[in-house]
Amino acid sequence: MDQNFSIEEAVNKLWDKMDGWMEAIILKLPNLVLAVLIMIVFYFIARGVKKLFNKFLLNRISQKSIQDIISKMIFVTVILFGFFIALGVMELNKVLTSILAGAGVVGLAVGLALQGTLSNSFGGLILSFMPKLKINDYIETDSVKGFVSEISLRNIVLRRPDNNYVIIPNSKFVDNSFTNYSLSKRSRIAVSCGVGYESNLQEVEDLVVKIISENFEQKEGEEVEFFFTEFGDSSINFMTRFWIDMVKSKEKHAETHKAIKLIKSNFDKHGINIPFPIRTLDFSKNTMRIENNNSSKNQPE
């Protein structure tokens, strides 16, 4: 059956629909304005709550990384609370339900796609709440040494002694072992040397122990240790171990430097020889004579 298409009727229906939309927008406009005001108000509330927590509660937490993470979580939580209230004012409760349902599916998909990123985030949380790792600690991993400069949800930043920065993903850092030199103020170091075979070994031991004890304070439960370690090619080698104040590698280098100078100067005063390897090249007379004979045979007659 033929139906006549009327442009005028179609235009009238379109205008009626647009009138309905305009009416709905005008009716919802106060709700929209109120929702925007609510979001603005909750933004400033979130900033205020964040500052209050930083001032009165978070300052009691020694680790700055934990302070940063908690303050960000507080800020986001207050903003989300304001967002839900704004949706309720706009009478979008059904939309909110749909958003939460969709967020679960999207969150699962994103979680599978971003496993590495999420593992870094969880690693950052673990590192932030780890009591034996703090900002400015001097640590050593399998590949780098440096001061902890920053701990974030993605990576840990180390400042090396040469003032260059190394960024390590949290997931890799958490899975590997590291040494924290800042946990203990006292560490034991070893200095090795060698003396000639003609030396009085007991005199060497007594002198080294006396030198180290007088120049490096040993506290209760600590002592200077001395051990002869081997018969070397040109010397009898020994090792002395003692305790120093050390929270970073520079202190170890400085105290080792001091101990070596003291041992060398006192050995010189007491006539104790620190030998060094010597190579002797032996050119026998027979070899020289053979070479001369061979060279004479090659001469023309």
- Cα atoms in the Cβ-side hemisphere of radius 13 Å centred on 103: 6
Nearest to 81 by CA among 48, 45, 116: 45
pLDDT in tens, 80-136: 888 878 777 776 666 666 665 555 555 555 454 444 555 556 566 666 666 678 888
Q: Are residues 236 and 160 in the same domain?
A: no
Nearest to 135 by CA among 156, 165, 166: 156
**Which has the higher per-residue pLDDT, 128 or 264?**
264
The domain in which residue 225 lies consists of: 186-269
pLDDT in tens, 150-179: 887 778 889 988 889 998 887 778 777 888
Split at pLDDT 50, 70, 90, the class of 1 is very low
Q: What distance in Å separates the CA atoms of residue 158 and residue 56, rounded to the nearest whole number?
A: 29
* Residue pair 133/139 in contact by the 8 Å Cβ criterion: yes
**Which has the higher per-residue pLDDT, 122 or 15?**
15
Q: What is the mean pLDDT of residues 267-292?
A: 70
Q: What is the mean pLDDT of residues 189-204?
A: 94
CA 197 to chain centre: 48
Q: Are residues 98 and 159 in the same domain?
A: no
The reply to whether 78 falls in a domain is yes
**pTM of the full predicted structure?**
0.55
Q: Are residues 190 and 156 in the same domain?
A: no
Query: Diameter of the chain by CA atoms?
Result: 134
DSSP structure class, residue 154: S
pLDDT in tens, 32-84: 778 888 888 888 888 888 887 777 665 656 556 666 777 777 888 888 888 87
Count up the domains in the chain and report the number.
3
Q: What is the mean pLDDT of residues 192-196?
A: 94
Q: Residues 21, 24, 26, 29: is their CA dihedral positive or negative?
A: negative
CATH number at residue 172: 2.30.30.60
Q: Is the pLDDT of residue 201 over 90?
A: yes
